[in-house]
Structure 1
Amino acid sequence: MPPIVSPDEWLQRRKALLEEEKELTQHFDRVNAARRRLPMTRVTKDYRFDGPNGKVSLLDMFEGRRQLVIYHFMFDPGWEKGCVGCTGLVDEMGDLSLLNARNTTFALVSRAPLEKLQRFKTQKGWNRTWYSSQGSDFNYDFHVTLDEKVRPVEYNYRSKAEIESLGAPSGTQGEEHGLSVFFRVGNEVFHTYSTYARGTESITDSYALLDRTPYGRQESFEDSPEGWPQKPTYG
């Protein structure tokens, strides 16, 4: 149990910790500012996905908005249920309507066939948009399905040899999880960001997801490049 101290000592210790918390918040803001300045790369493949309304392209998944956030949900075609960790993350997601208000669309993508995804979605009572990437290179190209017969193994920006030498908890075969962000300019799609493993922790609310996008939260307090959309923080 924590030690017992006087109220004065507790307050002194708490204020010291507060300074460290503020430093952490400021560092977090600096990292987000650097993320908004990352370059982007054009997506040249014509990926096709199975959705609730039929076949769609990556461009279609934007639903006319400027930014697209995809959570790579672990669901192998041979499984009857999705990954426990991914399921817990989606369970914890609250109201994400702010994303649409900030010109951003959110979707789940898995390799399992659409029928399995829809059945599991119904069982969970989710209202998230979920697409199947089965039959496309999407999961392999974005390093969330690992199969060295298809692509050299890479996860969390590490090669198979690096993963094995470091004793990383991620495997080198099968499904993994991650988050990828895309940006639309007209009818062209660009990849701006991907994160994996613990990089997907705490992305269960709109602000946490917006922090991963080029435009960020679009609040006036943010250090964003000139020309980025920004709204007053209050009011």
Structure 2
Amino acid sequence: MHLNDHPVVSREQWIQARKQHLIHEKAFTRQRDQLSAERRALPWVKIDKPYRFQGPHGELSLADLFGGRSQLMVYHFMFAEGWDEGCPGCSFLSDHIDGANQHLAHHDIALVAVSHAPFAEFQAFKRRMGWKFDWVSSAGCDFNYDFGVCARADEVAAGTATYNYEKTDGAEEELPGLSVFYRNEDGEIFHTYSTYARGLDLLVGAYNYLDLTPKGRNEEQIMDWVRHHDRYDDKPAASCCHGGS
């Protein structure tokens, strides 16, 4: 339906339509709560592989990424060796991390970005974006492959590469995802959850705003309009809250 053809009704008729929609919203909220409970009830996999990462002060283990907390969320940021800048979609999502991290850090959660490129290669881009969150390199270890966000060239060529738990016809060797880990009091680490593709929408707060508006996401393809936040062509309109002269 074109927005100019949208039905216009009285306030009383609108309230009735809104109440009917509220029934569906409440049902969705209950279903979402049930889905979250099912997610928490998933079985875990113990991590015994000695993954090694590179950070600002040298080599790190997976345990080091927890930063003393018991829960770790890893955002698999698409930045491969030789790239000059990160994936625009990953950057869009990552624009939301620092604000969340102020609160997650006080709720026993570490959130760290991990990329396949050598550590030095994404430092200039991180500074350009102005991000503060921890971002480390998994170059030289199997972490990205084991958690489903990197495919080896021979797998892509042979058509055996997988993404989001199924075979993919794409030629991408780098893809985004989120993996979650838990560390118990004995220092044992477990993989509890991973999500990919549209499962990452939950991390993009801007999409939740867009979904409440008349035009919605207004995309021809997913994220076709998204740019690095310093690459939009024009400045946003001035806010009415800035006050007049």
The TM-score bracket by the shorter chain reads: 0.7 to 0.9
Bigger drift between 60-69 and 87-96 goes to 87-96
The 5 Å alignment of 1:1-235 reads 1=3, 2-93=6-97, 94-147=99-152, 149=154, 152-159=160-167, 163-164=168-169, 171-185=170-184, 186-204=186-204
What is the aligned partner in structure 2 of residue 224 from structure 1? none
CA distance in 2, matches of 1:117, 1:202: 25
Q: CA RMSD in A?
A: 1.7
Q: Partner amino acid for 2:9?
A: V
2:96 touches 2:203 (CA, 8 Å); kept in 1? Answer: no
CA distance in 1, matches of 2:148, 2:41: 23
Distance apart, 1:91 and its partner CA: 1.3
Deviation string, structure 1 residues 68-109 (Cα, Å, up to 9, x no partner)? 000000001121100010011111332422212111100000
Number of equivalent positions: 197
CA distance in 2, matches of 1:36, 1:15: 32
1:143 touches 1:153 (CA, 8 Å); kept in 2? Answer: no
1:140 touches 1:150 (CA, 8 Å); kept in 2? Answer: no
CA distance in 1, matches of 2:37, 2:76: 24
Larger radius of gyration: 2
1:147 touches 1:173 (CA, 8 Å); kept in 2? Answer: no
CA distance in 1, matches of 2:155, 2:141: 12
Q: Partner amino acid for 1:134?
A: A
Distance apart, 1:148 and its partner CA: 5.2
Distance apart, 1:39 and its partner CA: 1.1
What is the aligned partner in structure 2 of residue 231 from structure 1? none
What's the TM-score once normalised by structure 1's chain length?
0.79
2:177 touches 2:196 (CA, 8 Å); kept in 1? Answer: yes
Distance apart, 1:38 and its partner CA: 1.0
Aligned-residue sequence identity (percent) comes to 45
CA distance in 2, matches of 1:118, 1:189: 28
Higher helix share: 2
1:41 touches 1:191 (CA, 8 Å); kept in 2? Answer: yes
Bigger drift between 143-152 and 48-57 goes to 143-152
Deviation string, structure 1 residues 166-222 (Cα, Å, up to 9, x no partner)? xxxxx24310000000010222111000000010113147xx9xxxxxxxxxxxxxx
Uncovered stretches (5+) of structure 1, i.e. residues with no partner: 165-170, 209-235
CA distance in 1, matches of 2:204, 2:61: 25
